[in-house]
Amino acid sequence: MTATALCDTPREAARLAADAMDWLAERSPRERGELLLAVAGALDGAAAELIALADEETALGEARLTGEMARTTGQLRLFANVLAEGSYLEATLDAADPDATPPRPDLRRMLEPLGPVAVFAASNFPFAFSVAGGDTASALAAGCPVVLKAHSGHPKLSERTTAVVSAALEHGGAPAGTFSCLAGRGAGRELVRDPDIRAVGFTGSLAGGRALFDLAAAREDPIPFFGELGSINPVLITRRAVRERGTAIAEGLVGSFTLGVGQFCTKPGIVLVPDDTGFEQLVVDALAGATGGRMLTDRIAGGFHGGVGELLATGSARLLDGSGGHVDTATRHADPVLLAADAADLIRDPEPLLRENFGPACALVRYRDGDELAAAVDVLPGSLTTTVHAEQADVTALTGVVALKARSGRLVWNGWPTGVAVTWSQHHGGPWPATTAPLHTSVGATAIRRWLRPVCYQDYPAELLPPALRDDNPLGLPRRVNSLRTTTQSTRDG
């Protein structure tokens, strides 16, 4: 049997993953890095075929998909670098000290893999958040076999990508169960319940993610569920900013909320704008040059149409420009929708305006003064991002920025949140309902931390210690030894 395959049942896939766990976890960081590099190379080699398949199933376009493929292989290479650098293990050694109060034994701590991981692929990024996406790359890097639940929006691509990854891992010596792929909602629920699955990574809707999160928590042995769910990604704009560069801000906003037909998890959905500045008209003017596009799936298209319609029916917002969320049922084509509302209505009844409309819709919410702006910020939910457009003269007066920090994982200044760089410093997470685990990121080097747990060894024989914790530091890792950062050898007597 190959190292990765399309398995028949969740039970089979989880059992094979458990069988592969020891082999993968026992590879050195550099050996696991070599596996990731092999997968990246195989994907690059099959890029033309995979991009054509992706475009056939998603209509995202060759240019967008080519960039996404580069991001996907770049993620795999980033985690190979994370493994080679070694600090992700947090190896920490404290020598015994009988004179300490209380007396201290020899203590050695590091992060070790949790076990087999279930990953749910996303619809809107058929490469970067799908079969060989960031969750898969970071989990394999951590030493955790992956069982992936493919997304129904791109089944052919998922099957072919699985085959490419399979061949690369098998060539690297990985056993059956290192990576496998399943399809179907029922399979996803079974995976979350399976006793061999030790953690779950999910990117998708609030309703679907919450249902799976509850399943993970209801297990006899609850497991971590790292879900990226819904996010409205609020934007705050000051009067000075509109006065100084209102046209540029309006154009940037339109470009951001219509990018990818608004199907980005970081799309700005609600914008707090000063009244009586003419900003609304600037956005309408900018929107004249924007075009719609085909939405990814019938379910997403239906949700967008229904969500905009329900919001307008509440009377909390009015249509400023666009088709009111109409989606062509034959082609799934949707045009941008611009809504207008008052901060007073948001403050009085937040829920209608704060529902995420996944698609090319944005609401401009007018505020009168600093007090009303602060009250509006106070009702905002957790989001992946918050954005501020302001001038230097606004900085000392923007007390609302502190409140925004409590509601966001990434704070953007005079820019736009769409486009998530894959780096060591990136954080793609946020307070509920943006994610179920705001301590962690699903993008960037520290995404690996989700799939690891700390283990401490007390007075253990040297022969039984993991290589990362041995005195001679055979892996040459950066470590903290007796409180000091070092890459040198250590001794038990300090």
Tokens matching residue 163: 């085959």
**Active site annotation includes 7:** no
Concatenated DSSP letters for 379-426? T---EEEEEEE--GGGGGG-THHHHHHTTEEEEEESS-S-S---SSS-
**CA–CA dist 326, 316 (Å, integer):** 19
**CA Rg value for the chain:** 24
For residues 274 and 241, the answer to whether their CB atoms sit within 8 Å is no
Q: Which of 14, 15, 16 is nearest to 2 (CA)?
A: 16
Listed in sequence order, the DSSP H helices in 144-287 are 155-171, 185-193, 206-218, 239-258, 279-287
**Active site annotation includes 280:** no
Eight-state DSSP code of residue 218: H
For residues 187 and 77, the answer to whether their CB atoms sit within 8 Å is no
In sign, the C-alpha dihedral spanning 165, 171, 173, 177 is positive
Phi, psi of 222, deg, nearest 5:
-55, 145
Tokens matching residue 274: 């000063």
β-pairing verdict for 337-342 and 318-322: antiparallel
How many other β-carbons are positioned within 10 Å of the β-carbon of residue 220?
6
Please provide the distance, in angstroms rounded to a whole number, between the alpha carbons at the two ends of the chain. 49
Phi-psi label, residue 260: left if phi above 0, alpha if psi -120 to 50, beta otherwise: left
Listed in sequence order, the DSSP H helices in 2-28 are 10-26
Tokens matching residue 113: 């893999």
Phi-psi label, residue 186: left if phi above 0, alpha if psi -120 to 50, beta otherwise: alpha
Cβ-proximal residues to 393 (8 Å cutoff; 6+ apart), any chain: 240
- E strand map for 238-334: 270-274, 293-294, 318-322, 333-334
For residues 422 and 81, the answer to whether their CB atoms sit within 8 Å is no
Strand partners, 321: 338
* Amino acid letter, 12: E
Q: Which of 7, 144, 181, 265 is catalytic?
A: 265
**CA–CA dist 190, 9 (Å, integer):** 9
Q: Which of 57, 68, 190, 228 is catalytic?
A: 228
Q: Which residues are catalytic?
A: 228, 265
